Each structure stands twice: as C-alpha cells, then as structure tokens.
Amino acid sequence: MCGIAGGTRLTSLNSLTDNQLINMLGRIKHRGPDESGIYSSNDVALGSVRLSIIDIESGQQPLSNSNQNIWITFNGEIFNYIELREELQQKGYRFKTQSDTEVIVVLYEEYGINFISKLNGQFAIAIWDKRTKELLLIRDRVGIRPLFYIQKNNELYFASEIKGLLEHPDIEANISPQSLSQIFTFWTCLRPNTIFKDIYELPPGHYMIFSKSQIKIKAYWELDFPKENNYANLSFEEAIGNFTEILADAVKIRLRADVPVAAYLSGGIDSTVTTSLIREVAPEMLQTFSVGFMDKEYDETEYQNLASDYYSTKHTGIKINSADIAEIFPEVVWHSETPILRTSPAPMYLLSKKVRDSNIKVVITGEGADEMLAGYNIFKESKIRRFWANQPGSKIRPLLLKKLYPYISQISEANSAFLKFFFGYKLTETDSPIYSHILRWNNGNQIKKYFSKDLINELNGYSPIEDVISQIGKKIDGYDHLAKAQWLETNIFMSGYLLSSQGDRMAMANSVEGRYPFLDYRLIEFCNSLEPDFKLKGLDEKYLLKKMAKGRIPDKILNRPKQAYRAPIQNSFAGTKAPPYINELFDIHNIKNSGLFDSKKSIDLFKKIQSDTISSETENMALTALLSTGLIVQQFQNKGRFENNNILKNCRIIKD
C-alpha cells in the first residue's frame, strides 16, 4: 500500500520539478511512511511513498520491466498476484522481485491495456510507457483506492490525495458551487467532480491514457445486473454454496501479506462472518479491533465482545465519547478532503490510530455486504413506500416504517400523520429510476436553505437530482426495483463516501490498509446475478448471508436487530466543552468571508442546537455540513491547515 503522485513533462521541462514532486509526496507521507522513490525523465516524473506489506525487502517503487521501457508507481494490492506471476513465468518471463507491483508491469508488457481485467485487487496505478510516450492511469473496479488528477498547461498531474496535488505551485483549491450542491444532496460529488474546481477523480472501473495528442478516459468494468426475471438459474441452496465458496476465497487471498493482518469487529453480521472465515483459514492471525461509544445509543460493545469471546481472538476495543469526536473532527475533514454530513468517519479515524499504535498495518473489514446483499434500511424503506403507494391514503401502511428506525425516537414514536409527512415525498412516482433514493436526497436538500444568496445565484437553478437522472439515462432500464436501488447506492454513495471518508482516508491517515472481501469483484458479480428475494426476502435483509452464517456465528448476533453505524453529532459540537474552533467557524465574519452560507440562518441553527435538548436528524446533518465545509475553506482554500513539514529523507531518485 502506498501513496502515489506524478505528472508529465511533455510540453515543458519546467512543468514538474523533482523538488515539487518530493513536496507532493511529502504531503501524503502518511499513506506510505516506510520509504519513498521517484523515477524522473524528460517526459515524466513518477513518485511513491510506500507502506511495505508485500516483498518488504525488494518491492521498492517506482519499478520497471526488464527493458526499462515501462515504469510503474502503484497504490494498492493485487490479491491474485501469485497466480498471475505463475501464468507469466510459464510464458518465459523472469522476475527480479517477489512483489505484486512487478507482476503488473509484466502483465502490461504481455497483454497491453487488456491486462486490467486479470487483476483482482484494490488499486490506483500509474504506468509510463516510454515506447509510446503515454501515461496510463487506472483505478480499481469500485473505487477502493483514490486517484485524483488535474490538467494544467497541457500537462497532467496526479496524486492519491488532493492535498498532494495542491503542493504544486500552479494548482489552487477553489470551492465548486455545483459540487457543494451535489455533496449536500448525495453526501458526495458526482464523478469525476471533486469539491474543488478543475480537480477531478478518475472514476472507479476506468482508465485514462494521456499523451501529447490525446486524453482518453474509458470504462473497463461497470456494475451490472440482469434484466428482470433473467437471474442466475440457481436454487437457494446452490446460491448459498457458491456464495460461501467465493467469499471464503476472497478472505483467503486477502490474508496474503508479509506483515500481520487483523480484522475489525463491528458487532454486526458482516464483520463477524469475515472473522469466522479468517479463523478457518489462519487462526493464528486472529487479532481483532473494535470501536464503541460511551453513549449507549450508539454503542455495540456487547456484540463485539461476544464475537471476540466466541472466536477467542486477541481483541482490542476502544471506547470514545462525544468530546473525542469534536477534538479530532478537523483532522478527519483534512483527510476526507471534502465536506461531510456525518461524524461517522471520526471513530474510524481513532480506531485505525489504535490499530497502527498496535503495530498492525492491515485490517480486514466487512464493508460492501450491505450494498451487495441489500442490508441498508433504504432498500426496505423503498419496498415499504412502494407497498404504501398502492394505497396512498392508508393510515396503516406507513406505520411499517417505524420498524426500520427504532434508534431514532422521532420516527419510532411517530404517528401516521408525521410518517406521511416525512416519508410521503413523491410517494406515488414509483416509475422514477431514482425512486429508492429520492426521499433521502430530498431530505439532504433541506440543508441547502443555509446557502448564501450569492451561492444560490451562482448555481443559477442547478439541480443535482436532475443532473444524476440525466447521467443515468437508460443504464438501469429493465432492472428490478431492488437492483436499481443497489446500483444507485453502490455507484454514488459507496465509493464516493463510504469507501472514501469512512474507508481509505481514515485508515490511511494512520498508515493502515483496509481490505474488503465482500468487494471482491467475483462476489459482486455473483450477488448481482441473484434474484432479489435471495437478498431481501420480505423485509429480511441480507437473507442469503444470514442463512450462510447460521451455525457459523453466535445466534445473538445473527438475530439481533439491524443497527445502523452512527456517531454523536449534537453532543459533540454543542455545549460549553465544545472546542474553540467551532465558535470560530460560526463567527459571523468567517461565515460572510467564505461567501457560501447565509450568516443569520447558520448562526441561528448553531444557537438552536446549543440550546435544545434534542435536535432533528436534519439539523444535526446541517450543522455537520456547515462545520466541515468551513474547515475545508480554512484548510484548503485559505491554506490555513499547516506547513508541509513532511520532508522526505533518503528519497530514492532514478534518473533516466
């Protein structure tokens, strides 16, 4: 695992100096603190900061093929590199290292761009082909590893994180109004946009070819589902068997490392199942970590300890309080590099810090199961709303929604009239391709009332929801209702928010690599092929996984009520013990200077949350959004974070 950065020099030798690249790499040193290296020629500069996990002794980057006409810098892991290496050796290739990085170079040499389909892993890859003078950028299928770029002065620069790009003197961070509107709707930007103008991310499952004559971006893999009633011809028992076989192998190959591998235990089914599979493959590796909360409303420690005891793991648990979240929140935003609407990334940051303090570099986690097997409430909510839409005047049907949110008192204790008001938005528009998500996105829209008049004028009526509908086009026509919802959740929310702000960024901030067996592309394609009842049977989510897990994990965990992962907001940011930066960000002068928000409405919200005993979910989301956006402006646009003191020592420079 690494951080990568670099750029072309095709039009000017002064476009990217070695010292500038060293600064870019220094800024993302947290992604790879073990060593660093640069390949530098008249045409290109490639750099890497390395977190050594596979082939620690000889896997340094950048690395070339034997002829030194193909160079690579690479962030990630190729889990099937052993099998690919054997395939290439049978073709006569010889290797100088034991690394997965060299396997990629040789695969490209043998197969050209088509080599990507052979990779099973999580990766952001930059390849320089001296023969064609082309820079090739590649991102993994679902966007586990990040890759950002900017085209400037006819050159292309790239980096694993935006803050790396911003070390180049010609690159600035200016907030994009449209991107901000998208984030306040979807919790993330619509790719390839980022929160900053002219800075883009390479979409998941895509590659880019950049040369003097062209810039080409193309998909090599896309999330796909069968047309309705054209599902895999499997019985439920056969599906369980195939699913178990693929998942077990996905776990097995993700244990490949030359350093210890641990696992996260959330207390839910997903992480408990992965832990059970690790125990079968490598019981000696069974070290687990979990995060709990002092606030009982959010805490799952009971189930985490139950799983740890059941599998006799070497377990480390931490408990955090609201003050911990508030204290670390600026650091969380700095690493997220985007406004966030929840505090949920903060506990993940603190957990990964504990993992790193325990000298662990790699953790296996359960992310992806909810997307692949319809585990989220949004899937059940959509199903209930469709049922309700058949009789929109019913007072009984909306009451089903109370069962989904027992942890939100405003919903679980609500009457039919409130539920109709809250959940009835565009209830009967069941033909809409975004029906499953329109309610969530509309609720997110409510925080846009805090936008300033200047920002509203600049947006000029722009609608993120209309934008996403136009981008979807006919891509999901013919899918069943659940598949449409899964497509939206995976393509927009999972890679844009979950795998970024809660995944890669929080782990790599502490030099920890997360691995996700449920996001093995073989498992994704298999789950997508199944009929919807195998995933969501009635209102029983992750039905296939639960049946597979019966007898494998404790019944108390298997049968527990679904509890969404959440973290405190109001108790973190309101009160006399709140850190000073919060009052500073809600100072009227700072709000006006940003030009993004209405100062009166913003301050009124802050005062209300400080004075009220209980704030609504929407108010808490708005407060987090305003705070995090203010921090983004302060840290990036105004360059007020801190100086780049991460000077790379002993950076290996290969001159060509």
Q: Which residues are catalytic?
A: 2
* DSSP codes of every residue in 295-346: STTT--HHHHHHHHHHHT-EEEEEEE-HHHHHHHHHHHHHHH-S--S-STHH
- Compute the distance between CA of residue 72 and CA of residue 246 in angstroms, rounded to an integer: 30
Alpha helices in 4-47 (DSSP H): 18-27
CB 323 within 8 A of CB 577: yes
Phi, psi at 212, each rounded to 5° = -60, -30
Q: If we measure between CA atoms, which residue out of 258, 316, 266, 318 comes closest to residue 286?
A: 316
Q: If we measure between CA atoms, which residue out of 641, 651, 642, 636 comes closest to residue 173?
A: 636
- Compute the distance between CA of residue 206 and CA of residue 199 in angstroms, rounded to an integer: 17
Number of H helices, E strands in the chain: 27, 18
* Residue 236 buriedness (CB in 10 A; 0-12 / 13-18 / 19+): middle
CB 174 within 8 A of CB 34: no
* Residue 466 buriedness (CB in 10 A; 0-12 / 13-18 / 19+): exposed
Q: Where are the beta strands (DSSP E) in 351-463?
A: 362-364
Q: If we measure between CA atoms, which residue out of 138, 163, 151 comes closest to residue 8?
A: 151
Q: Compute the residue count for the chain.
A: 656
- Compute the distance between CA of residue 528 and CA of residue 141 in angstroms, rounded to an integer: 15
